[in-house]
Amino acid sequence: MKITVVGAGAVGATTADNIVRKELAEEIILLDIKEGFAEGKAQDISQTAALLGFDSKITGITNDYSATAGTSVAVITSGLPRKPGMTREELIGTNAGIVRAVAENLLKYSPNVIIVVVSNPMDTMTYLTLKATGLPKNRIIGMGGTLDSARFKYQLSQRLGASSADLNAIVIGGHGDTTMIPLIKHATWNSLPVTEFLSAGEQQQIVADTMVGGATLTKLIGTSAWYAPGASSAAVVESIIRDQKKLFTASVYLEGEYGQQDITLGVPVVLGKDGIEKILPLNLDTEEEAAFAKSAEAVRAMNNVLYETGVL
């Protein structure tokens, strides 16, 4: 079994580190365009084996896709990250060219690959990957909802004084500061509705803090975050590789589900050996439905840029 992570930057290297620690494959390829960079990161990670006791092998590669041949799951993290004050959407021009080329190169050597897209603006990069490769929708998974849901649980745990592990809460919609929808009315604390324990004002604050979770970190760190994004990407890969059939929210191509067509957007899915194995329906109330439609509108406008600029 082989897993490839493209982009050995902050998110890519952390994803690879998590994958290696979990021993999800015998062979992990970390590939970057910057000469020697992935090789260095891979060696650094390899040198933790004696301390952490894993046997997976990680190899760093500079832009040679023949080394990725036979990859089962690939994670695309290559591209520019956000800087303070930037939206994820502002990255579209540069990252579209990078993501398209990377996806096509991966497919050349691994025709059966399942692709997890992480690069931002993630929903649009997922749409681009699907359209550019022509792969069936179950094999293209946009990772954003898993991270946003983890951040939502963090905010809930802080406010409730609860263990994050006891919380069930998901974020649907786009992976953008204004497009994501933390579903607080559906969130539970060990099966009890969290709304029982939080005032309306507290609920609003938790939702607002979740939505700017990434931007808050970008402002503090000076670039976008990587520990939680890396752990989230590895969790998605794990569910596929180990056929765990875990429920995550992921950006997936919709063909009528949630009232949407020809768009990739975050909805609850089951992830197993075939990638996206099920898209789960959800009874949204009028307010949530309206938020989902608004989110789709914003992501669709972003996708249109791909056509207007000739990327698609």
Ligand X SMILES: NC(=O)c1ccc[n+]([C@@H]2O[C@H](COP(=O)([O-])OP(=O)(O)OC[C@H]3O[C@@H](n4cnc5c(N)ncnc54)[C@H](O)[C@@H]3O)[C@@H](O)[C@H]2O)c1
Nearest to 114 by CA among 275, 282, 269: 275
Among 56, 77, 110, 179, which residue sits at the site for ligand X (rule: CB under 6 A)?
Answer: 77
Residue type, 25: A
- Interatomic CA distance for residues 243 and 107, integer angstroms: 22
Residue 186 a catalytic site member: no
List of long-range contacts for 202-206, beta carbons under 8 Å, 24+ apart: 202/159, 205/159, 206/152, 206/155, 206/156, 206/159, 206/182
Does 60 bind ligand X (CB under 6 A)? Our answer is no
Q: Work out the burial of residue 134: count CB atoms within 10 Å of its CB; fewer than 13 is exposed, 13-18 middle, 19 or more buried.
A: exposed
Single out the segment in contact with ligand X by CB under 6 A; choices: 7-15, 160-168, 234-242, 273-281: 7-15
Q: Please confirm whether the linkage preceding 268 is cis (ω < 30° from 0).
A: no
Among 102, 171, 250, 269, which residue sits at the site for ligand X (rule: CB under 6 A)?
Answer: 102
Q: Which helix (H) or strand (E) holds 219?
A: helix 213-221
For ligand X, the binding residues in 209-238 under the rule CB under 6 A are 223-224, 226, 229
Among 98, 170, 235, 269, which residue sits at the site for ligand X (rule: CB under 6 A)?
Answer: 98
Does 122 bind ligand X (CB under 6 A)? Our answer is yes
- Interatomic CA distance for residues 107 and 20, integer angstroms: 23
Single out the segment in contact with ligand X by CB under 6 A; choices: 16-24, 116-124, 192-200, 203-211: 116-124
Among 71, 72, 120, 218, which residue sits at the site for ligand X (rule: CB under 6 A)?
Answer: 120
For ligand X, the binding residues in 139-158 under the rule CB under 6 A are 143-144, 147
Does 33 bind ligand X (CB under 6 A)? Our answer is yes
* Active-site option among 175, 240, 291, 299: 175
Site residues for ligand X per CB under 6 A: 6-12, 32-34, 37, 77-82, 91, 95, 98, 101-102, 118-120, 122, 143-144, 147, 175, 223-224, 226, 229
Q: Would you please indicate which residues are annotated as catalytic (active-site) residues?
A: 175
